């Protein structure tokens, strides 16, 4: 359990602000703290960033003197979803990498706020968040859902670029999602040299028949009986593929 000066790894300044809150402010009535949060500046305003009340934190962030420093403190230390949601009202707060990093580590960050953060992100960025060890499991789960939504609604170029860039590693998170004919055609235009990419496409249940035919024609597959057999075992593999894929 943390003592009133905060965990030892907090900078000295933060320990001071936490102590000011605990010793001078916490005992005040919540309405008094809200009024103070709207008018305060300097160390008092920073100290109120440690307030557990979402109403007080909302007032802090609405203060004309509130900036990124205050947003970072709230993102790291506040523990109510409604209080953290106020950060979403200021687009500049969510563009700050430190605020974002703290929100990804905060177990109370709401799904609504996460969607707001994810919305402008490219598909590849959301995929990286699905794997991030710096985020909570709740954030990774929300990122996985967002990835599926973006993959479904994104352009064919975006879908293919993601698959190729990560060598098909993303496909394990996209089970049950289809690949349309436009994306399949784009994949079929590319020479595929990565053994891992071919293997992941051969394992993915949604790989279309035309992509499997294209895979079977790749030199990396012709040199590997194991890859060729994996493609032939795929449920979408055309019946004529067996004879065409055998080396002459």
Residue 134: pLDDT over 50: yes
As a whole number of Å, the CA-based R_g of the chain is 26
| CA–CA separation, 49 and 63 (whole Å) | 12
Residue 126 vs residues 91, 148, 151, 158, 231: alpha-carbon distances, Å = 19, 10, 10, 12, 29
Q: What is the pTM of this model?
A: 0.84
Mean pLDDT of 89-95: 83
| CA–CA separation, 217 and 147 (whole Å) | 30
Contact call for residues 34 and 55 (beta carbons, < 8 A)? yes
- Name the helix (H) or strand (E) containing 124: helix 123-131
Confidence of residue 212 (pLDDT cuts 50, 70, 90): very high
Length of the chain: 248
**SS (HEC) of 141-182:** HHHHHHHHHHHHHCCHHHHHHHHHHCCCHHHHHCCCCCCCHH
Tokens of 14: 């933060």
Q: Let me know if 192 is exposed, middle or buried by CB neighbors in 10 A (0-12, 13-18, 19+).
A: buried
Tokens of 67: 């900036």
Contact call for residues 184 and 211 (beta carbons, < 8 A)? yes
Question: Residue 46: how many CA atoms within 13 Å on its side-chain side?
Answer: 13
What is residue 243's predicted lDDT score, i.e. its pLDDT?
52
pLDDT in tens, 224-241: 999 999 999 999 999 888
pLDDT in tens, 166-200: 999 999 999 999 999 999 999 999 999 999 999 99
List phi, psi (to 5°) of 187: -65, -40
Contact call for residues 56 and 44 (beta carbons, < 8 A)? no
List phi, psi (to 5°) of 60: -55, -50
Confidence of residue 4 (pLDDT cuts 50, 70, 90): very low
**In the predicted model, what is the mean pLDDT of the chain?**
92
Q: Which residue has the tokens 């003197």?
A: 65
What is residue 8's predicted lDDT score, i.e. its pLDDT?
44
What is residue 11's predicted lDDT score, i.e. its pLDDT?
78
What percentage of the chain reaches a pLDDT higher than 70? 94
Residue 204: pLDDT over 90: yes
pLDDT in tens, 17-42: 999 999 999 999 999 999 999 999 99
What is residue 3's predicted lDDT score, i.e. its pLDDT?
42
């Amino acid at each position: 359990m943390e003592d009133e000066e905060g965990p030892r790894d907090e900078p000295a300044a933060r320990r001071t602000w936490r102590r000011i809150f605990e010793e001078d402010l916490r005992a005040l009535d919540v309405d008094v703290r809200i009024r103070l949060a709207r008018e305060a500046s300097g160390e008092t305003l920073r100290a109120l960033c440690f307030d557990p009340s979402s109403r007080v934190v909302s007032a802090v962030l609405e203060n004309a003197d509130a900036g990124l420093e205050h947003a970072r403190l709230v993102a790291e230390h506040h523990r109510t979803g409604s209080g953290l949601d106020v950060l979403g009202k200021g687009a500049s707060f969510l563009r700050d990498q430190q605020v974002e990093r703290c929100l990804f580590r905060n177990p109370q960050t709401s799904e609504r706020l996460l969607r707001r953060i994810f919305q402008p992100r490219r598909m590849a960025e959301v995929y990286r968040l699905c794997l991030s060890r710096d985020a909570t499991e709740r954030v990774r789960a929300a990122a996985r859902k967002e990835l599926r939504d973006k993959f479904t609604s994104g352009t064919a170029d975006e879908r293919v670029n993601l698959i190729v860039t990560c060598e098909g590693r993303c496909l394990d998170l996209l089970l049950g999602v289809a690949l349309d004919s436009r994306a399949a055609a784009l994949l079929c235009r590319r020479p595929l040299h990565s053994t891992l990419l071919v293997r992941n496409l051969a394992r993915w249940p949604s790989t279309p028949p035309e992509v499997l035919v294209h895979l079977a024609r790749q030199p990396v597959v012709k040199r590997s009986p194991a890859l060729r057999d994996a493609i032939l075992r795929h449920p979408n593999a055309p019946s004529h593929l067996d004879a065409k894929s055998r080396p002459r």
